[in-house]
Amino acid sequence: MDLNKFTIKQAQEKLEAGEITSVDLTRACLERIGAIDDRIKACLTVCENEAICAAKEADLRRKNGEIGALLGIPYLAKDNIMTRGVRTTASSKILENYIAPYDATIIKKLKSAGAVLLGKTNLDEFAHGASTENSAFGPSHNPWDLSRVPGGSSGGSAAAVAADMCLFALGTDTGGSIRCPASFCGISGCKPTYGLASRFGLIAMTSSTDVPGPLTKTVEDAEIVLRVIAGVDGNDATTVDAHRDRSRPVHAADVQTTMTGKKIGIPKEYFGEGLEAGVKKLVMEAVEYYKKQGAEIIDVSLPHSKYGVGVYYIITPSELSSNLARHDGIRYGFSDNSGNDLLSIYKNSRGKGFGPEAKRRIMLGTYALSAGYFDAYYLKAQRVRTIIKNELDQVLEKVDCIITPTSPHVAFKIGEQSNDPLKMYLEDVYVTGASLAGLPAMSIPVGFDNGLPVGMQLIGKRFAEDTLFAMGRAYQDGTDFHKRRAEIL
């Protein structure tokens, strides 16, 4: 029995029945990492001894009568999430040997729940990218085809889940960084509503769109994880008590998954030029599935969505250029003090510590925020962002969710687009809108095009994760795409 192949739900049942232990689960995952990660390259750090100790503690807690949704469940965390005493690099040379002095709030919550941290996963440097090729430590590989990217920036986390190295993984999503790799790797990935889960302890990229979320084998598992990590945090003023809201997030277990009476919006702008025929076919087949289950399919329009990428790539570099200013070679991380003055230390440390994409975005952001250009670029982008947000909100008043492709195509070859930054930025064409608006969105697998996974994106109302989970589970109850796993040779 390959314990590492279990879903969280399956593992829970075995643990509660006493048929397996958390130590058994953890060892199975660690053995899987040891057997295949030299080819996948999903992990940057593996905490073997610490994981076994945490698993033993979880087993003791269970023996003493404790129960819990994630008690004893092994997971991996994206390496831009702070983990006390464990190397946290953001896949950058400038933090190559940085040991985090505290846990991110979501890590604290998982520790309290008894989840077992196996290690840290690869990403695009500081989450700047859509392929995990921008990592200072080399790219991760897609388990379905090792010559292809796993998506990004949470590519290491997605590849690890798809390759059964863990039962779930944590990622972060700024403009598609959970949903894109979930699509490319054939798993479920949930970007929660902005403010539902704390950003405290995340190495900041774009503060106004960053959110942590789960990458899992099923929609049901994503719900289980989000229940644990969601909630108000005194260290993050952007978090809210969603339970005071009229909707009830992350409680899809109480929601009927019947589609009768549900209204699904299909935006024409997401199904036009640039979308590969095979991807469109599979997404529309999924829409037809919902229709047969009783959902009403409604054509909608989001005319300003075409500006999403342009807006995102003004706001994102602007915010990250400010956030990355703290990495100066003085306080922590890599430092080159070979110069004769303070300016030389700054230049040498940042010049050698940051990779090409980080430098490119710092320069773009600094330019957009500079005197004489702030109004023309950043302020105008924020105004268009508001239009995009309002447009999505208005459509979602008429429908329960919006369905789109997650990506216009399947995973591409490693190196195929790395010399074309503009083409890489356009990877985010279908996913930036929900991020700019702060809406919950989820990618689930809907089939395979030439043997590679295709994902469908569901976008919901603010704090209506329950609706997305119910709709995702309804689809997975009647299909088996989420059960298929790559055979890694």
Rounded CA-CA distance 338/485 in Å is 50
Q: In whole angstroms, how far apart are CA 401 and each of 295, 301, 442?
A: 11, 13, 11
For 447, the 3-state DSSP assignment is strand
The amino acid sitting at 371 is A
41, 78, 191, 461: the catalytic one is 78
91, 177, 305, 318: the catalytic one is 177
Q: H-type helices in 41-171, by residue range?
A: 48-63, 105-113, 155-162
Rounded CA-CA distance 132/105 in Å is 25
Rounded CA-CA distance 32/52 in Å is 15
Rounded CA-CA distance 168/76 in Å is 7
Q: In whole angstroms, how far apart are CA 5 and each of 2, 366, 423?
A: 6, 46, 35
Tally of residues, the chain = 489
Tokens of 128: 């700047």
DSSP one-letter code for 458? E
Closest CA to 308 of 398, 403, 176, 182: 176
Cβ-contact 141, 41 below 8 angstroms: yes
For 296, the 3-state DSSP assignment is strand
DSSP one-letter code for 106? H
Rounded CA-CA distance 39/212 in Å is 27
- Annotation marks residue 177 as catalytic: yes
Cβ-contact 175, 152 below 8 angstroms: no
Q: Which residues have a catalytic role annotated?
A: 78, 153, 177
